[in-house]
Amino acid sequence: MTLRTKEGLRAYVDANQGNVAFLRFERGGLKQGPTSDWDIAVRDRSSGLEHCGKHFGAAWLRIPRRYVIQHFYQWGQVDLLPVFEWNGVEYLDQKSFWDGVSVSEDGLPRPALGHDAFIAWMTGLLWGGSFDSRYTEFVTLGASEDEANFRGSLEKAFGKGLAGILYDYAVEGRAVDATQLVGELRFTLMRRKAVSSPLKTFRGVARHWFCEIGFHWRTPYPWIGILGPDGSGKSSVIEGLTEKLKLSRVKMKPIHWLPQLSRTAGASSAVVTDPHARPPKSGFLSLLQLGKVVLVWWVALIRDLIHLRAKQSLVLSDRFYPDLLADPRRYRYGASVGFAKWAFKLIPRPDRVIVLHTDAETILKRKQEVAPAELERQLGAYQAIVEAWGEKAVLVDCGQELESVVEEAFETLLGALAERSR
């Protein structure tokens, strides 16, 4: 059962009467597209979780944050919202929200229009410091047609002075202009709530950060590595995995070889046609190179990748650091491979490693960038990596049809997602 069918939607609503309200769902000109998600407010968190599992089954990935429980299914993403908070600070109280919920003509429970538009606006501003222009007309509609709930929510959160400025932005179709007030909005909300309900605010903030620290300690999104010689089809497999994740809305961040430490740098798009064209570096320079690899990975993990995997997406590493063990000449590495194996033990390992592998003859029919003897040696080295990494590594026969290869790799990815679900 899914929410993408009228039957599935109706069955879910009937089973959750009085406990759910659909936000921004086919209202005020908004349309539910083929890859859209569902934001559903739930009055009771436990009941919402129970019915979500009962009707839709186990999700590929479930992330139970304080302010949203994210469910990623094969057919789409369902977000359950038990509270309306920013970093644990409530910006719309539950009683006001649920007092305004009513059943629309199509039989779906929806919040008051003013509340719906207010939440759509504040979600982007408070959490992301931005505003999605798709909701401009919706915010204007909510402010104009349900002024009492819209303006009332603004005043409770930010006081009459700031609420007046925001309301004018909304009715004039200038919702995006509020991005210049993000800092003031956050400070004002925190200050007002700390004064009006200090204990509740302190508990909310503490619970929020306790939960988020836990997700950074054990990230909900996995890290997947993919290895294989030239001609094994890594790029095609990555494209196939991306396509399979599309409907679910699980995001995937691809990294080639080393993470980029520059925040403005893009992924390398260079095509290597002769990976062994240049000679290896000296032993000394090769050891410095190893030190750089270890350092870059640790800096990237601490500064970027842990937060990325805690908040946004899984990471897929194409030709990550153990690839040097299988093909040191590609990286112009001229020191001991045994020393490289030791150095790489200093870097955390991915949750799963997919190694694309088949016979040399099949690969040579696709690409002939290295000599047959060298390719045989590389295939043996990749096989050794699988054996050394044990259960973390999966050998996939890339000599099959591409669809079968992608499916096997995808099953490995799903296993890593399931392990990360809480």
Query: Do 131 and 124 meet the contact criterion of CB atoms below 8 Å apart?
Result: yes
Task: Quickly state the pLDDT bin for 138 (edges 50, 70, 90).
Answer: very high
Name beta bridge partners: 70.
Answer: 63, 79
Q: Please identify which residue in the block is written with the tokens 């990286």.
A: 331
Question: Strands across the sheet with 313-318, in order?
Answer: 251-256, 313-318, 223-227, 352-357, 393-397
Residue 392 DSSP SS3: helix
User: Mean pLDDT throughout 213-229?
Assistant: 96
Instruction: Please enumerate in sequence order all residues whose Cβ is within 8 A of that of 14, keeping only pairs 6 or more positions apart, or say none.
Output: none
Q: Residue 180 has what DSSP assignment?
A: G
CA-wise closest residue to 22 among 46, 41, 8, 3: 41
Task: Quickly state the pLDDT bin for 421 (edges 50, 70, 90).
Answer: confident
Instruction: Please enumerate in sequence order all residues whose Cβ is within 8 A of that of 386, keeping only pairs 6 or more positions apart, or say none.
Output: 353, 355, 357, 393, 394, 395
CA-wise closest residue to 110 among 38, 181, 47: 38
The span from the CA of 35 to the CA of 27, in Å, is 17
Instruction: Please enumerate in sequence order all residues whose Cβ is within 8 A of that of 47, keeping only pairs 6 or more positions apart, or say none.
Output: 16, 19
Signed CA dihedral, 131, 134, 140, 141: sign only = negative
Q: Residue 65 has what DSSP assignment?
A: -
Of 45-59, 86-100, 169-183, 321-335, which range is least confident? 45-59
Query: Do 170 and 136 meet the contact criterion of CB atoms below 8 Å apart?
Result: no
Ordered domains of the chain (ranges, CATH): 6-216 (3.30.460), 219-420 (3.40.50.300)
Instruction: Give, for 191, the enclosing helix (H) or strand (E).
Output: helix 182-196
Residue range 260-273, pLDDT digits in tens: 876 554 455 445 66
Query: Do 280 and 334 meet the contact criterion of CB atoms below 8 Å apart?
Result: yes
SS (H, E, C) 203-239: HHHHHHHHHHHHHHHCCCCCEEEEECCCCCCHHHHHH
Residue 273: the pLDDT is: 60
Q: What is the largest CA-CA distance in the chain?
A: 77
Output the average pLDDT for the chain. 94
Residue 292: the pLDDT is: 95
Asked if pLDDT for residue 213 goes beyond 90, the answer is yes
Residue 396 DSSP SS3: strand
The span from the CA of 410 to the CA of 414, in Å, is 6
Instruction: Please enumerate in sequence order all residues whose Cβ is within 8 A of that of 180, keeping only pairs 6 or more positions apart, or say none.
Output: none
Query: Do 257 and 265 meet the contact criterion of CB atoms below 8 Å apart?
Result: no
Residue 317: the pLDDT is: 95
User: Mean pLDDT throughout 10-22?
Assistant: 94
The span from the CA of 88 to the CA of 389, in Å, is 41
SS (H, E, C) 276-322: CCCCCCCHHHHHHHHHHHHHHHHHHHHHHHHHHHHHCEEEEEECCCC
Q: How much of the chain, in percent, has pLDDT values that exceed 90? A: 91
Residue 274: the pLDDT is: 74
Query: Do 249 and 77 meet the contact criterion of CB atoms below 8 Å apart?
Result: yes
User: Mean pLDDT throughout 123-148?
Assistant: 96
Q: Is 174 exposed, middle or buried (0-12, 13-18, 19+ CB in 10 A)?
A: middle
Task: Quickly state the pLDDT bin for 393 (edges 50, 70, 90).
Answer: very high
Residue 368: the pLDDT is: 83
Task: Quickly state the pLDDT bin for 1 (edges 50, 70, 90).
Answer: confident
Residue range 340-381, pLDDT digits in tens: 999 999 999 999 999 999 999 999 988 888 889 999 999 999
Residue range 284-325, pLDDT digits in tens: 999 999 999 999 999 999 999 999 999 999 999 999 999 999
Backbone angles phi, psi at 231, to 5 degrees: 95, -5
User: Mean pLDDT throughout 59-64?
Assistant: 96
Q: How much of the chain, in percent, has pLDDT values that exceed 70? A: 97
Residue 422: the pLDDT is: 62
The span from the CA of 274 to the CA of 244, in Å, is 32
